[in-house]
Protein backbone atom coordinates (compact mmCIF):
# COMPACT_ATOMS: atom_id res chain seq x y z
CA UNK A 1 0.00 0.00 0.00
CA UNK A 2 2.88 2.39 0.76
CA UNK A 3 4.21 1.91 -2.76
CA UNK A 4 0.77 2.73 -4.16
CA UNK A 5 0.58 5.94 -2.11
CA UNK A 6 4.05 7.01 -3.23
CA UNK A 7 3.16 6.36 -6.87
CA UNK A 8 -0.07 8.37 -6.60
CA UNK A 9 1.72 11.29 -4.90
CA UNK A 10 4.47 11.21 -7.51
CA UNK A 11 2.06 11.28 -10.45
CA UNK A 12 -0.80 13.49 -9.21
CA UNK A 13 1.41 15.73 -7.10
CA UNK A 14 4.00 16.07 -9.86
CA UNK A 15 1.36 17.01 -12.42
CA UNK A 16 -0.27 19.52 -10.05
CA UNK A 17 3.06 21.17 -9.29
CA UNK A 18 3.99 21.47 -12.96
CA UNK A 19 0.51 22.71 -13.92
CA UNK A 20 0.91 26.00 -12.01
CA UNK A 21 3.79 27.50 -14.05
CA UNK A 22 2.33 26.05 -17.23
CA UNK A 23 -1.02 27.67 -16.43
CA UNK A 24 0.68 31.04 -15.91
CA UNK A 25 2.40 30.66 -19.28
CA UNK A 26 -0.89 29.76 -20.98
CA UNK A 27 -2.55 32.81 -19.43
CA UNK A 28 0.14 35.06 -20.87
CA UNK A 29 -0.01 33.28 -24.23
CA UNK A 30 -3.78 33.66 -24.65
CA UNK A 31 -3.73 37.20 -23.26
CA UNK A 32 -1.70 38.27 -26.28
CA UNK A 33 1.50 39.03 -24.38
CA UNK A 34 3.64 37.32 -27.02
CA UNK A 35 2.97 39.82 -29.80
CA UNK A 36 5.78 38.62 -32.03
CA UNK A 37 4.41 35.09 -32.05
CA UNK A 38 0.86 36.35 -32.69
CA UNK A 39 2.02 38.38 -35.67
CA UNK A 40 3.74 35.28 -37.06
CA UNK A 41 0.52 33.28 -36.78
CA UNK A 42 -1.37 36.10 -38.48
CA UNK A 43 1.04 35.99 -41.41
CA UNK A 44 0.35 32.26 -41.83
CA UNK A 45 -3.44 32.14 -41.36
CA UNK A 46 -4.27 35.63 -42.65
CA UNK A 47 -6.27 38.38 -40.91
CA UNK A 48 -7.43 37.46 -37.40
CA UNK A 49 -10.28 39.87 -36.60
CA UNK A 50 -12.03 39.64 -33.25
CA UNK A 51 -15.16 37.49 -33.25
CA UNK A 52 -18.37 37.33 -31.25
CA UNK A 53 -19.51 33.91 -29.99
CA UNK A 54 -21.41 33.04 -33.18
CA UNK A 55 -18.54 33.79 -35.52
CA UNK A 56 -16.09 32.07 -33.18
CA UNK A 57 -18.28 28.96 -33.13
CA UNK A 58 -18.73 28.98 -36.90
CA UNK A 59 -14.97 29.24 -37.40
CA UNK A 60 -14.37 26.37 -34.98
CA UNK A 61 -16.98 24.11 -36.62
CA UNK A 62 -15.85 24.96 -40.15
CA UNK A 63 -12.20 24.26 -39.38
CA UNK A 64 -13.04 20.95 -37.75
CA UNK A 65 -15.25 19.96 -40.69
CA UNK A 66 -12.31 20.54 -43.05
CA UNK A 67 -10.09 18.50 -40.74
CA UNK A 68 -12.56 15.64 -40.86
CA UNK A 69 -12.90 15.73 -44.66
CA UNK A 70 -9.12 15.80 -45.21
CA UNK A 71 -8.38 12.88 -42.88
CA UNK A 72 -11.33 10.86 -44.19
CA UNK A 73 -9.89 11.16 -47.71
CA UNK A 74 -6.38 10.33 -46.51
CA UNK A 75 -7.44 7.20 -44.62
CA UNK A 76 -9.68 6.00 -47.44
CA UNK A 77 -6.84 6.24 -49.96
CA UNK A 78 -3.86 5.16 -47.83
CA UNK A 79 -3.21 2.08 -49.99
CA UNK A 80 -2.55 4.37 -52.97
CA UNK A 81 -0.20 6.73 -51.12
CA UNK A 82 3.49 6.61 -50.06
CA UNK A 83 4.95 5.92 -46.59
CA UNK A 84 3.29 2.51 -46.47
CA UNK A 85 6.27 0.15 -46.06
CA UNK A 86 4.16 -2.69 -44.62
CA UNK A 87 1.63 -2.54 -47.45
CA UNK A 88 -1.49 -1.71 -45.43
CA UNK A 89 -4.62 -2.26 -47.52
CA UNK A 90 -7.77 -0.18 -47.83
CA UNK A 91 -10.00 -0.04 -44.75
CA UNK A 92 -13.80 -0.24 -44.82
CA UNK A 93 -15.53 3.13 -45.20
CA UNK A 94 -17.47 2.72 -41.95
CA UNK A 95 -14.16 2.25 -40.09
CA UNK A 96 -12.70 5.24 -41.96
CA UNK A 97 -15.71 7.34 -40.88
CA UNK A 98 -15.40 6.22 -37.27
CA UNK A 99 -11.65 6.86 -37.14
CA UNK A 100 -11.87 10.30 -38.78
CA UNK A 101 -14.71 11.28 -36.42
CA UNK A 102 -12.80 9.86 -33.46
CA UNK A 103 -9.60 11.81 -33.98
CA UNK A 104 -11.36 15.02 -35.14
CA UNK A 105 -13.30 15.06 -31.88
CA UNK A 106 -10.25 14.46 -29.65
CA UNK A 107 -11.75 11.06 -28.73
CA UNK A 108 -9.39 8.59 -30.41
CA UNK A 109 -11.70 5.63 -29.94
CA UNK A 110 -9.96 2.84 -31.83
CA UNK A 111 -11.88 0.02 -33.47
CA UNK A 112 -8.64 -1.23 -35.02
CA UNK A 113 -5.01 -2.06 -34.24
CA UNK A 114 -2.89 0.80 -35.58
CA UNK A 115 0.17 -1.22 -36.54
CA UNK A 116 -1.88 -3.59 -38.71
CA UNK A 117 -4.44 -1.14 -40.14
CA UNK A 118 -2.93 2.25 -41.00
CA UNK A 119 0.15 3.29 -42.97
CA UNK A 120 2.81 5.58 -41.53
CA UNK A 121 1.40 8.44 -43.62
CA UNK A 122 -2.08 7.82 -42.23
CA UNK A 123 -0.76 7.69 -38.66
CA UNK A 124 1.51 10.75 -38.94
CA UNK A 125 -0.11 12.96 -41.57
CA UNK A 126 -3.66 12.19 -40.53
CA UNK A 127 -4.12 10.88 -37.01
CA UNK A 128 -1.15 12.51 -35.26
CA UNK A 129 -1.88 15.83 -36.98
CA UNK A 130 -5.45 15.66 -35.69
CA UNK A 131 -4.14 15.01 -32.19
CA UNK A 132 -2.54 18.46 -32.35
CA UNK A 133 -5.30 20.46 -33.99
CA UNK A 134 -8.27 18.83 -32.25
CA UNK A 135 -6.63 19.44 -28.87
CA UNK A 136 -5.85 23.02 -29.95
CA UNK A 137 -9.53 23.54 -30.80
CA UNK A 138 -10.60 22.62 -27.26
CA UNK A 139 -8.02 24.89 -25.63
CA UNK A 140 -9.00 27.74 -27.96
CA UNK A 141 -12.67 27.35 -27.03
CA UNK A 142 -11.83 27.63 -23.31
CA UNK A 143 -9.76 30.77 -23.93
CA UNK A 144 -12.68 32.36 -25.79
CA UNK A 145 -15.14 31.45 -23.04
CA UNK A 146 -12.86 32.87 -20.34
CA UNK A 147 -12.39 36.15 -22.22
CA UNK A 148 -16.14 36.59 -22.44
CA UNK A 149 -16.63 35.90 -18.73
CA UNK A 150 -13.73 38.19 -17.88
CA UNK A 151 -15.56 41.25 -19.19
CA UNK A 152 -13.98 41.66 -22.62
CA UNK A 153 -16.12 42.79 -25.52
CA UNK A 154 -14.91 40.02 -27.79
CA UNK A 155 -14.05 36.34 -27.61
CA UNK A 156 -10.97 36.81 -29.74
CA UNK A 157 -10.07 34.98 -32.95
CA UNK A 158 -10.39 31.21 -33.22
CA UNK A 159 -7.60 30.82 -35.77
CA UNK A 160 -5.19 32.87 -33.68
CA UNK A 161 -6.09 30.91 -30.54
CA UNK A 162 -5.75 27.56 -32.33
CA UNK A 163 -2.34 28.64 -33.66
CA UNK A 164 -1.23 29.65 -30.18
CA UNK A 165 -2.34 26.31 -28.72
CA UNK A 166 -0.82 24.17 -31.47
CA UNK A 167 2.52 25.90 -32.08
CA UNK A 168 3.36 27.65 -28.81
CA UNK A 169 2.00 25.05 -26.37
CA UNK A 170 1.40 21.55 -27.71
CA UNK A 171 4.27 21.31 -30.18
CA UNK A 172 7.09 22.36 -27.80
CA UNK A 173 5.77 20.11 -25.02
CA UNK A 174 5.40 17.20 -27.44
CA UNK A 175 9.00 17.59 -28.62
CA UNK A 176 10.23 17.44 -25.03
CA UNK A 177 8.10 14.42 -24.10
CA UNK A 178 8.88 12.59 -27.35
CA UNK A 179 12.59 13.05 -26.69
CA UNK A 180 12.20 11.66 -23.17
CA UNK A 181 10.24 8.65 -24.46
CA UNK A 182 12.74 7.96 -27.25
CA UNK A 183 15.57 8.01 -24.71
CA UNK A 184 13.63 5.54 -22.56
CA UNK A 185 13.26 3.15 -25.52
CA UNK A 186 10.10 4.04 -27.45
CA UNK A 187 10.89 3.50 -31.18
CA UNK A 188 11.08 6.44 -33.55
CA UNK A 189 11.68 5.23 -37.11
CA UNK A 190 10.11 5.26 -40.57
CA UNK A 191 11.45 1.81 -41.41
CA UNK A 192 9.04 -1.08 -41.79
CA UNK A 193 8.47 -3.93 -39.36
CA UNK A 194 11.59 -5.75 -38.14
CA UNK A 195 12.01 -9.48 -38.79
CA UNK A 196 13.82 -11.34 -36.02
CA UNK A 197 14.78 -14.92 -35.26
CA UNK A 198 13.82 -16.10 -31.77
CA UNK A 199 15.94 -18.28 -29.48
CA UNK A 200 13.84 -21.25 -30.59
CA UNK A 201 14.72 -20.51 -34.21
CA UNK A 202 11.29 -19.21 -35.21
CA UNK A 203 10.80 -16.10 -37.34
CA UNK A 204 8.97 -13.19 -35.72
CA UNK A 205 7.73 -9.96 -37.30
CA UNK A 206 7.93 -7.02 -34.87
CA UNK A 207 5.86 -3.95 -35.69
CA UNK A 208 7.53 -0.59 -35.09
CA UNK A 209 7.38 2.96 -36.44
CA UNK A 210 7.41 6.63 -35.38
CA UNK A 211 5.84 5.77 -32.04
CA UNK A 212 7.62 8.26 -29.72
CA UNK A 213 6.18 11.31 -31.49
CA UNK A 214 2.74 9.74 -31.67
CA UNK A 215 2.66 8.73 -28.00
CA UNK A 216 3.84 12.15 -26.76
CA UNK A 217 0.94 14.10 -28.26
CA UNK A 218 -1.56 11.33 -27.52
CA UNK A 219 -0.85 11.84 -23.81
CA UNK A 220 -0.39 15.61 -23.70
CA UNK A 221 -3.46 16.45 -25.80
CA UNK A 222 -5.78 14.05 -23.90
CA UNK A 223 -6.07 12.19 -27.19
CA UNK A 224 -5.20 8.65 -26.12
CA UNK A 225 -4.95 6.98 -29.52
CA UNK A 226 -2.21 4.36 -29.38
CA UNK A 227 0.26 3.71 -32.19
CA UNK A 228 -0.02 0.01 -31.30
CA UNK A 229 -3.26 -1.84 -30.61
CA UNK A 230 -2.58 -2.58 -26.91
CA UNK A 231 -1.89 1.15 -26.37
CA UNK A 232 0.30 1.96 -23.37
CA UNK A 233 0.35 -1.64 -22.17
CA UNK A 234 2.62 -2.29 -25.17
CA UNK A 235 6.33 -2.29 -24.20
CA UNK A 236 7.19 -0.21 -27.26
CA UNK A 237 4.80 2.55 -26.13
CA UNK A 238 5.59 2.29 -22.44
CA UNK A 239 8.92 0.54 -21.91
CA UNK A 240 9.83 1.16 -18.27
CA UNK A 241 8.96 2.77 -14.93
CA UNK A 242 10.09 6.31 -15.80
CA UNK A 243 8.38 6.32 -19.18
CA UNK A 244 5.26 5.17 -17.36
CA UNK A 245 5.52 8.03 -14.84
CA UNK A 246 6.10 10.58 -17.60
CA UNK A 247 3.09 9.36 -19.59
CA UNK A 248 0.76 9.47 -16.57
CA UNK A 249 1.92 12.99 -15.63
CA UNK A 250 1.36 14.05 -19.25
CA UNK A 251 -2.26 12.92 -19.02
CA UNK A 252 -3.00 15.40 -16.23
CA UNK A 253 -0.64 18.25 -17.03
CA UNK A 254 -2.52 20.44 -19.53
CA UNK A 255 -6.05 19.75 -18.15
CA UNK A 256 -4.84 20.93 -14.74
CA UNK A 257 -3.08 23.94 -16.27
CA UNK A 258 -6.29 24.88 -18.11
CA UNK A 259 -7.99 25.56 -14.76
CA UNK A 260 -5.26 28.03 -13.83
CA UNK A 261 -5.41 29.58 -17.30
CA UNK A 262 -9.18 30.05 -16.87
CA UNK A 263 -8.62 31.78 -13.54
CA UNK A 264 -5.94 34.01 -15.01
CA UNK A 265 -8.03 35.08 -17.99
CA UNK A 266 -11.07 35.95 -15.86
CA UNK A 267 -8.87 37.57 -13.21
CA UNK A 268 -10.14 35.31 -10.40
CA UNK A 269 -7.40 32.93 -9.33
CA UNK A 270 -9.10 32.17 -6.00
CA UNK A 271 -12.17 30.98 -7.88
CA UNK A 272 -9.92 28.82 -10.07
CA UNK A 273 -8.39 27.41 -6.89
CA UNK A 274 -11.83 26.40 -5.59
CA UNK A 275 -12.68 24.68 -8.88
CA UNK A 276 -9.27 22.99 -8.94
CA UNK A 277 -9.83 21.75 -5.39
CA UNK A 278 -13.22 20.24 -6.24
CA UNK A 279 -11.80 18.52 -9.31
CA UNK A 280 -8.80 17.22 -7.35
CA UNK A 281 -11.05 15.88 -4.57
CA UNK A 282 -13.15 13.94 -7.09
CA UNK A 283 -9.98 12.61 -8.73
CA UNK A 284 -8.47 11.39 -5.45
CA UNK A 285 -11.73 9.73 -4.36
CA UNK A 286 -11.91 7.80 -7.63
CA UNK A 287 -8.24 6.83 -7.45
CA UNK A 288 -8.66 5.65 -3.86
CA UNK A 289 -11.72 3.63 -4.79
CA UNK A 290 -10.11 2.06 -7.83
CA UNK A 291 -6.89 1.06 -6.05
CA UNK A 292 -8.84 -0.32 -3.08
CA UNK A 293 -11.34 -2.30 -5.14
CA UNK A 294 -8.55 -3.74 -7.27
CA UNK A 295 -6.57 -4.86 -4.22
CA UNK A 296 -8.93 -7.85 -3.85
CA UNK A 297 -8.44 -10.89 -6.11
CA UNK A 298 -10.75 -11.46 -9.02
CA UNK A 299 -13.52 -13.85 -7.96
CA UNK A 300 -12.47 -16.34 -10.62
CA UNK A 301 -9.27 -16.99 -8.63
CA UNK A 302 -10.64 -16.38 -5.15
CA UNK A 303 -9.92 -19.95 -4.02
CA UNK A 304 -6.27 -19.88 -5.08
CA UNK A 305 -4.06 -19.11 -2.09
CA UNK A 306 -1.32 -17.66 -4.28
CA UNK A 307 -3.61 -14.85 -5.36
CA UNK A 308 -4.89 -13.77 -1.96
CA UNK A 309 -2.14 -11.26 -1.16
CA UNK A 310 -1.56 -9.81 -4.62
CA UNK A 311 -4.94 -8.41 -5.63
CA UNK A 312 -6.37 -8.70 -9.13
CA UNK A 313 -3.46 -9.16 -11.53
CA UNK A 314 -5.59 -10.15 -14.52
CA UNK A 315 -5.08 -7.79 -17.47
CA UNK A 316 -2.25 -5.85 -15.79
CA UNK A 317 1.13 -4.95 -17.23
CA UNK A 318 3.20 -6.31 -14.36
CA UNK A 319 6.45 -4.73 -15.60
CA UNK A 320 5.06 -1.43 -14.35
CA UNK A 321 3.51 -2.53 -11.06
CA UNK A 322 0.00 -3.64 -10.14
CA UNK A 323 -1.07 -0.13 -9.00
CA UNK A 324 -0.52 1.35 -12.46
CA UNK A 325 -3.61 -0.35 -13.89
CA UNK A 326 -6.32 1.12 -11.61
CA UNK A 327 -4.47 4.45 -11.30
CA UNK A 328 -4.15 4.87 -15.06
CA UNK A 329 -7.79 3.82 -15.57
CA UNK A 330 -8.95 6.74 -13.40
CA UNK A 331 -6.51 9.29 -14.83
CA UNK A 332 -7.37 8.46 -18.43
CA UNK A 333 -11.14 8.63 -17.91
CA UNK A 334 -11.09 11.70 -15.67
CA UNK A 335 -9.32 13.67 -18.39
CA UNK A 336 -10.92 12.20 -21.54
CA UNK A 337 -7.48 10.89 -22.49
CA UNK A 338 -8.51 7.31 -23.28
CA UNK A 339 -5.09 5.66 -23.34
CA UNK A 340 -4.84 2.52 -21.20
CA UNK A 341 -2.23 1.01 -18.90
CA UNK A 342 -4.28 -2.15 -18.28
CA UNK A 343 -7.21 -3.94 -19.89
CA UNK A 344 -10.30 -2.37 -18.33
CA UNK A 345 -12.40 -5.42 -19.19
CA UNK A 346 -10.39 -7.33 -16.56
CA UNK A 347 -10.92 -4.85 -13.73
CA UNK A 348 -13.02 -5.95 -10.77
CA UNK A 349 -16.63 -4.74 -11.23
CA UNK A 350 -16.50 -1.87 -8.74
CA UNK A 351 -13.07 -0.85 -10.02
CA UNK A 352 -14.60 -0.62 -13.49
CA UNK A 353 -17.27 1.68 -12.07
CA UNK A 354 -14.62 4.30 -11.23
CA UNK A 355 -13.56 5.06 -14.84
CA UNK A 356 -17.22 4.98 -15.89
CA UNK A 357 -18.03 7.60 -13.25
CA UNK A 358 -15.23 9.77 -14.58
CA UNK A 359 -16.74 9.73 -18.06
CA UNK A 360 -20.29 10.25 -16.79
CA UNK A 361 -19.40 13.38 -14.78
CA UNK A 362 -16.90 14.44 -17.49
CA UNK A 363 -15.59 17.33 -15.41
CA UNK A 364 -12.71 16.00 -13.29
CA UNK A 365 -10.15 18.16 -15.13
CA UNK A 366 -11.50 16.61 -18.34
CA UNK A 367 -10.07 17.02 -21.81
CA UNK A 368 -7.70 19.86 -22.67
CA UNK A 369 -9.86 22.99 -22.61
CA UNK A 370 -13.19 21.21 -22.73
CA UNK A 371 -12.87 19.76 -19.21
CA UNK A 372 -13.01 23.24 -17.70
CA UNK A 373 -15.80 24.14 -20.11
CA UNK A 374 -17.74 21.13 -18.80
CA UNK A 375 -17.21 22.25 -15.22
CA UNK A 376 -18.41 25.74 -16.20
CA UNK A 377 -21.80 24.19 -16.99
CA UNK A 378 -21.98 22.75 -13.47
CA UNK A 379 -20.92 26.15 -12.09
CA UNK A 380 -23.84 27.81 -13.88
CA UNK A 381 -26.27 25.26 -12.42
CA UNK A 382 -24.75 25.57 -8.93
CA UNK A 383 -24.94 29.38 -9.01
CA UNK A 384 -28.54 29.28 -10.20
CA UNK A 385 -29.61 26.82 -7.49
CA UNK A 386 -27.77 28.74 -4.77
CA UNK A 387 -29.37 32.00 -5.88
CA UNK A 388 -32.83 30.48 -5.75
CA UNK A 389 -32.16 29.03 -2.29
CA UNK A 390 -31.24 32.41 -0.76
CA UNK A 391 -33.86 34.37 -2.70
CA UNK A 392 -31.48 36.44 -4.81
CA UNK A 393 -31.01 36.80 -8.53
CA UNK A 394 -28.23 34.34 -9.40
CA UNK A 395 -25.04 36.09 -10.47
CA UNK A 396 -21.71 34.71 -11.62
CA UNK A 397 -18.72 37.05 -11.86
CA UNK A 398 -21.11 40.01 -12.19
CA UNK A 399 -23.22 38.30 -14.87
CA UNK A 400 -26.89 37.64 -14.13
CA UNK A 401 -27.84 33.97 -14.69
CA UNK A 402 -31.43 33.75 -15.94
CA UNK A 403 -33.73 31.14 -17.41
CA UNK A 404 -32.20 31.28 -20.90
CA UNK A 405 -28.70 30.45 -19.67
CA UNK A 406 -30.03 27.77 -17.34
CA UNK A 407 -31.95 26.05 -20.14
CA UNK A 408 -28.83 25.99 -22.31
CA UNK A 409 -26.72 24.54 -19.48
CA UNK A 410 -29.24 21.81 -18.79
CA UNK A 411 -29.47 21.06 -22.52
CA UNK A 412 -25.72 20.45 -22.69
CA UNK A 413 -25.62 18.34 -19.52
CA UNK A 414 -28.59 16.16 -20.41
CA UNK A 415 -27.51 15.69 -24.00
CA UNK A 416 -24.43 13.94 -22.62
CA UNK A 417 -26.61 11.60 -20.57
CA UNK A 418 -28.98 10.99 -23.48
CA UNK A 419 -26.16 10.00 -25.82
CA UNK A 420 -24.83 7.48 -23.29
CA UNK A 421 -28.06 5.98 -21.98
CA UNK A 422 -29.96 6.15 -25.26
CA UNK A 423 -27.21 4.45 -27.23
CA UNK A 424 -26.75 1.81 -24.52
CA UNK A 425 -30.48 1.03 -24.44
CA UNK A 426 -30.69 0.59 -28.20
CA UNK A 427 -27.62 -1.65 -28.52
CA UNK A 428 -28.42 -3.69 -25.40
CA UNK A 429 -31.86 -4.47 -26.80
CA UNK A 430 -30.89 -5.25 -30.40
CA UNK A 431 -28.53 -7.61 -32.26
CA UNK A 432 -26.34 -4.56 -33.04
CA UNK A 433 -24.96 -4.89 -29.52
CA UNK A 434 -25.99 -8.37 -28.39
CA UNK A 435 -24.25 -10.17 -31.25
CA UNK A 436 -20.94 -8.39 -30.58
CA UNK A 437 -20.58 -9.32 -26.90
CA UNK A 438 -17.94 -11.70 -25.58
CA UNK A 439 -19.68 -11.76 -22.19
CA UNK A 440 -23.32 -12.08 -21.21
CA UNK A 441 -25.29 -10.69 -18.30
CA UNK A 442 -24.25 -7.65 -16.29
CA UNK A 443 -20.69 -7.62 -17.59
CA UNK A 444 -21.86 -7.62 -21.20
CA UNK A 445 -24.18 -4.73 -20.38
CA UNK A 446 -21.22 -2.91 -18.83
CA UNK A 447 -19.23 -3.37 -22.04
CA UNK A 448 -21.97 -1.66 -24.07
CA UNK A 449 -22.46 1.04 -21.41
CA UNK A 450 -18.72 1.73 -21.28
CA UNK A 451 -18.41 2.03 -25.07
CA UNK A 452 -21.12 4.69 -25.32
CA UNK A 453 -19.82 6.46 -22.21
CA UNK A 454 -16.40 6.62 -23.82
CA UNK A 455 -17.75 7.90 -27.14
CA UNK A 456 -20.02 10.56 -25.61
CA UNK A 457 -17.31 11.78 -23.23
CA UNK A 458 -14.79 11.95 -26.11
CA UNK A 459 -12.62 9.59 -24.08
CA UNK A 460 -11.72 6.74 -26.41
CA UNK A 461 -10.88 3.96 -23.95
CA UNK A 462 -12.85 0.72 -24.01
CA UNK A 463 -13.63 -2.36 -21.98
CA UNK A 464 -12.34 -4.22 -25.07
CA UNK A 465 -14.77 -7.10 -24.64
CA UNK A 466 -16.70 -6.08 -27.73
CA UNK A 467 -16.41 -6.99 -31.37
CA UNK A 468 -16.88 -3.29 -32.10
CA UNK A 469 -15.47 -3.06 -35.64
CA UNK A 470 -18.89 -3.47 -37.25
CA UNK A 471 -20.85 -1.01 -39.38
CA UNK A 472 -23.42 -0.51 -36.60
CA UNK A 473 -20.83 0.25 -33.91
CA UNK A 474 -18.67 2.36 -36.22
CA UNK A 475 -21.51 4.57 -37.42
CA UNK A 476 -23.32 4.87 -34.07
CA UNK A 477 -20.26 5.75 -32.01
CA UNK A 478 -19.00 8.03 -34.78
CA UNK A 479 -22.20 10.08 -34.61
CA UNK A 480 -22.17 10.08 -30.80
CA UNK A 481 -18.58 11.35 -30.79
CA UNK A 482 -19.39 14.22 -33.16
CA UNK A 483 -22.46 15.33 -31.19
CA UNK A 484 -20.77 14.75 -27.84
CA UNK A 485 -17.83 16.92 -28.87
CA UNK A 486 -19.34 19.98 -30.46
CA UNK A 487 -22.66 20.48 -28.65
CA UNK A 488 -20.94 20.86 -25.23
CA UNK A 489 -18.55 23.41 -26.77
CA UNK A 490 -21.05 25.49 -28.74
CA UNK A 491 -23.70 25.69 -26.01
CA UNK A 492 -21.32 27.16 -23.34
CA UNK A 493 -20.08 29.68 -25.90
CA UNK A 494 -23.72 30.63 -26.49
CA UNK A 495 -24.26 30.99 -22.73
CA UNK A 496 -21.29 33.33 -22.41
CA UNK A 497 -22.43 35.23 -25.51
CA UNK A 498 -25.78 35.77 -23.82
CA UNK A 499 -24.09 36.97 -20.62
CA UNK A 500 -21.86 39.36 -22.56
CA UNK A 501 -24.93 41.04 -24.06
CA UNK A 502 -26.15 42.04 -20.59
CA UNK A 503 -24.96 44.85 -18.37
CA UNK A 504 -22.39 43.57 -15.92
CA UNK A 505 -23.19 44.24 -12.28
CA UNK A 506 -20.75 45.27 -9.60
CA UNK A 507 -20.45 42.64 -6.89
CA UNK A 508 -21.68 43.58 -3.43
CA UNK A 509 -21.75 42.11 0.08
CA UNK A 510 -24.90 40.19 -0.85
CA UNK A 511 -23.39 38.59 -3.95
CA UNK A 512 -22.76 34.85 -3.72
CA UNK A 513 -19.01 34.36 -3.35
CA UNK A 514 -17.47 31.81 -5.69
CA UNK A 515 -14.09 31.89 -3.94
CA UNK A 516 -14.73 30.01 -0.72
CA UNK A 517 -15.30 26.53 0.66
CA UNK A 518 -19.08 27.08 0.74
CA UNK A 519 -19.25 27.46 -3.00
CA UNK A 520 -16.84 24.57 -3.45
CA UNK A 521 -19.16 22.33 -1.44
CA UNK A 522 -22.19 23.55 -3.39
CA UNK A 523 -20.45 22.83 -6.67
CA UNK A 524 -19.40 19.34 -5.57
CA UNK A 525 -22.95 18.53 -4.39
CA UNK A 526 -24.39 19.75 -7.69
CA UNK A 527 -22.06 17.47 -9.66
CA UNK A 528 -22.79 14.49 -7.41
CA UNK A 529 -26.57 14.91 -7.43
CA UNK A 530 -26.69 15.26 -11.19
CA UNK A 531 -24.44 12.26 -11.73
CA UNK A 532 -26.14 10.02 -9.16
CA UNK A 533 -29.68 10.71 -10.29
CA UNK A 534 -28.83 10.30 -13.95
CA UNK A 535 -26.48 7.33 -14.06
CA UNK A 536 -27.09 5.26 -10.91
CA UNK A 537 -29.78 3.06 -12.54
CA UNK A 538 -27.36 2.15 -15.35
CA UNK A 539 -24.60 1.48 -12.81
CA UNK A 540 -26.98 -0.78 -10.88
CA UNK A 541 -27.65 -2.85 -14.00
CA UNK A 542 -23.96 -3.12 -14.89
CA UNK A 543 -21.00 -3.09 -12.48
CA UNK A 544 -23.01 -3.10 -9.25
CA UNK A 545 -25.14 -6.05 -10.39
CA UNK A 546 -22.03 -7.92 -11.49
CA UNK A 547 -20.35 -7.28 -8.13
CA UNK A 548 -23.33 -8.56 -6.11
CA UNK A 549 -23.63 -11.62 -8.36
CA UNK A 550 -19.96 -12.49 -7.87
CA UNK A 551 -20.22 -12.02 -4.11
CA UNK A 552 -23.07 -14.52 -4.00
- How do strand 203-206 and strand 194-197 relate by DSSP bridges? antiparallel
Q: Strand pairing partners for 511?
A: none
pLDDT of residue 220: 95
CB 295 within 8 A of CB 288: no
As a whole number of Å, the CA-based R_g of the chain is 23
pLDDT of 47 over the 80 cut: no
CB 146 within 8 A of CB 180: no
pLDDT of 105 over the 80 cut: yes
pLDDT of 304 over the 60 cut: yes
Name the nearest CA neighbour of 255 among 377, 128, 364, 140: 364
Q: How confident is the model at residue 433 (pLDDT cuts 50, 70, 90)?
A: very high
Q: How confident is the model at residue 462 (pLDDT cuts 50, 70, 90)?
A: confident
**Residue 497 and residue 494: Cα distance in Å, rounded?**
5
pLDDT of residue 514: 87
Q: What are phi and psi of 463, to 5 degrees?
A: -70, -25
pLDDT of residue 388: 82
- Across the range 211-225, mean pLDDT stands at 90
pLDDT of residue 276: 97
pLDDT of 205 over the 90 cut: no
pLDDT of residue 302: 66
H/E element, 57: helix 53-76
**Residue 144 and residue 436: Cα distance in Å, rounded?**
42
Q: How confident is the model at residue 508 (pLDDT cuts 50, 70, 90)?
A: low
pLDDT of 207 over the 60 cut: yes
| Position with higher pLDDT, 500 vs 320 | 500
pLDDT of 348 over the 70 cut: yes
| Position with higher pLDDT, 226 vs 17 | 17
| % of the chain surpassing 90 pLDDT | 63
CB 510 within 8 A of CB 142: no
pLDDT of 307 over the 60 cut: no
Q: How confident is the model at residue 398 (pLDDT cuts 50, 70, 90)?
A: confident
**Residue 360 and residue 417: Cα distance in Å, rounded?**
7
pLDDT of residue 551: 77
How far is the CA of 457 from the CAs of 63, 111, 176, 381, in angstroms?
A: 21, 17, 28, 19
- Across the range 117-128, mean pLDDT stands at 89
- Across the range 73-83, mean pLDDT stands at 93
pLDDT of residue 510: 65
- Across the range 301-325, mean pLDDT stands at 72
pLDDT of 100 over the 60 cut: yes
**Residue 356 and residue 330: Cα distance in Å, rounded?**
9
- Across the range 419-425, mean pLDDT stands at 97
Q: Which of 26-40, 73-87, 146-160, 316-330 has the lowest mean pLDDT?
A: 316-330
CB 339 within 8 A of CB 232: yes
pLDDT of 318 over the 90 cut: no
Q: Which of 44-53, 173-182, 240-249 has the lowest mean pLDDT?
A: 44-53
Exposure of 304 by Cβ count < 10 A (0-12 exposed, 13-18 middle, 19+ buried)? exposed
pLDDT of 308 over the 60 cut: no
Tell me the average pLDDT of the chain: 90
Instruction: Give me the residue spans of the domains in the chain.
Output: 21-253
H/E element, 399: strand 399-400
pLDDT of residue 367: 92
Q: Which of 302-311, 395-404, 408-417 has the lowest mean pLDDT?
A: 302-311
Q: Which of 19-33, 81-95, 292-306, 469-483 has the lowest mean pLDDT?
A: 292-306
Amino acid sequence: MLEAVILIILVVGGAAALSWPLGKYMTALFSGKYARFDSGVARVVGPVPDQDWKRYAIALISFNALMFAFVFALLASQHLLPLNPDGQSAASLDLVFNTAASFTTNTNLQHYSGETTWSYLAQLGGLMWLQFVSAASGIAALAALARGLGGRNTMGSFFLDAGRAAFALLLPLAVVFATVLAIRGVPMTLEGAAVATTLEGATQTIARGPAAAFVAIKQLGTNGGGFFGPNSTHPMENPDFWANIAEMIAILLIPMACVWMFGGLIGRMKHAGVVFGVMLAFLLVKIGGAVTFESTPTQAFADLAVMQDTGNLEGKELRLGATTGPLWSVLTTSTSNGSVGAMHDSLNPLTGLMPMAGMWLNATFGGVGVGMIGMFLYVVVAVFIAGMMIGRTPEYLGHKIEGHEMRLAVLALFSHALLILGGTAIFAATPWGQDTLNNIGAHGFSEILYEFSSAAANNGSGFEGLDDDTPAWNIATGLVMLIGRFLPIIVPLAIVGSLMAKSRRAESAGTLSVEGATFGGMLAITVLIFGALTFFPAAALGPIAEHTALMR
